[in-house]
Amino acid sequence: MSNLVTLEGRANPWHPTASTVDGPVLNFYDVPLAGLFSQDWHHFLYQCILGHIDDVGIWVYTPIADGERAKLETAVSPKLQEELQKLRDGRKVTVALAVSDHILMSENLVSGSDATLIHRALEACESLLKVIQRVAIAV
């Protein structure tokens, strides 16, 4: 379960590689916002934690075990959000920034609250922008 998700740039956040095996969608609004998929025999939970209806979104990918996947597949709506947060707490996750439903960049982090993950993702974006600015000035 320690393997982190593989993401391809420009891929959809809910189907991040050509070899991703889609699982059940747990939340849908125009596009899948939370659900399960597998990569190389490892299971992952994906969630859009910011930008559900906007062009820019922050997505979190959490590795999960077989038993956790089975529990999520049978979770009823009132307890689903609680279960999703419990699964993420204290784990190493991958946070991705997506623009127009395409992955732009990602960062591996230790999970926290949605607010903490959003803050860390924005810090990573800020760092990337500084590098881009330095390269643009040098050219």
pLDDT tops 70 at residue 104: yes
Predicted confidence (pLDDT) per residue in 40-61, tens digit:
999 999 999 888 888 889 999 9
Q: Which residue has the higher pLDDT, 105 or 77?
A: 105
Give residue 18's pLDDT band: very low, low, confident or very high (50, 70, 90). Answer: very high
Q: Which residue has the higher pLDDT, 2 or 78?
A: 78
pLDDT at 2: 52
Distance of CA 23 to the CA centre of its chain: 15
Top-ranked range on mean pLDDT: pick from 52-61, 82-91, 130-139? 52-61
pLDDT at 124: 83
In the block, residue with structure tokens 């990602």: 106
pLDDT tops 90 at residue 15: yes
**Which two three-digit tokens encode residue 72?**
């999520």
pLDDT at 37: 97
**Reported pTM:** 0.86
pLDDT at 8: 95
Q: Which residue has the higher pLDDT, 80 or 33?
A: 33
Residue 65 contacts by C-beta under 8 Å, 6 or more apart in sequence?
1, 43
E strands present in 65-125:
92-99, 102-110
Rounded-to-integer distance, Cα 16 and Cα 6, Å: 7
pLDDT tops 90 at residue 35: yes
Would you say 127 and 39 are in contact if contact means Cβ atoms under 8 Å apart? no
